């Protein structure tokens, strides 16, 4: 058995939930916040049998698409020590960060 931990942008969370549940996967959702953009994320915990791991990964990849977004990044002001002014930067967001771990034992009580 494997445990998939998938961190996805909130914008993709509902689509992933529907996709996984329609295909018979049980999911647990946790509300999380990303460190870089300080934006809402959803972390999914998904227990799967080894035989269904590849299929689950395909579903995650289909549901979670990356896209461009403008974020502000602090920039130092020339000649002023310790003074930072935010300026817009285009970054790629979305997609999914996925961890797959071996599970020694699983019980549903």
Please state the domain extents for the chain: 2-102
Low-confidence ranges of the chain (pLDDT < 70): 35-39, 69-87, 90-94
pTM: 0.74
Please state, in angstroms and rounded to a whole number, the distance separating the CA atoms of residues 65 and 45. Answer: 19
pLDDT digits (tens, 9 = 90+) for 42-69: 999 999 999 999 999 999 999 998 777 6
Tokens of 81: 């020590």
Whole-number pLDDT of residue 66: 75
Cα of 74 vs its chain's centroid, Å: 24
Whole-number pLDDT of residue 100: 98
Non-local (6+) Cβ contacts of 7 within 8 A are 32, 34, 41, 42, 43, 44, 96, 97, 98
- Domain 2-102, second-level architecture: 2-Layer Sandwich (3.30)
Give the number of C-alpha atoms closer than 13 A to the C-alpha of residue 102, restricted to the C-beta side.
1
């Amino acid at each position: 058995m494997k445990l998939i931990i998938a961190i996805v942008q909130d914008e993709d969370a509902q689509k992933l939930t529907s996709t996984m549940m329609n295909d018979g996967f049980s999911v647990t959702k946790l509300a999380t916040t990303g460190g870089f953009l300080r934006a809402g994320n959803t972390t999914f915990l998904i227990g799967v049998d080894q035989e269904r791991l590849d299929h689950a990964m395909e579903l995650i990849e289909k549901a979670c698409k990356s896209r461009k977004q403008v974020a502000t990044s602090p920039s130092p002001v020339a000649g002023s020590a310790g003074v930072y002014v935010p300026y817009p930067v285009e970054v790629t967001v979305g997609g999914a960060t996925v961890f797959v771990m071996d599970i020694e034992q699983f019980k549903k009580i």
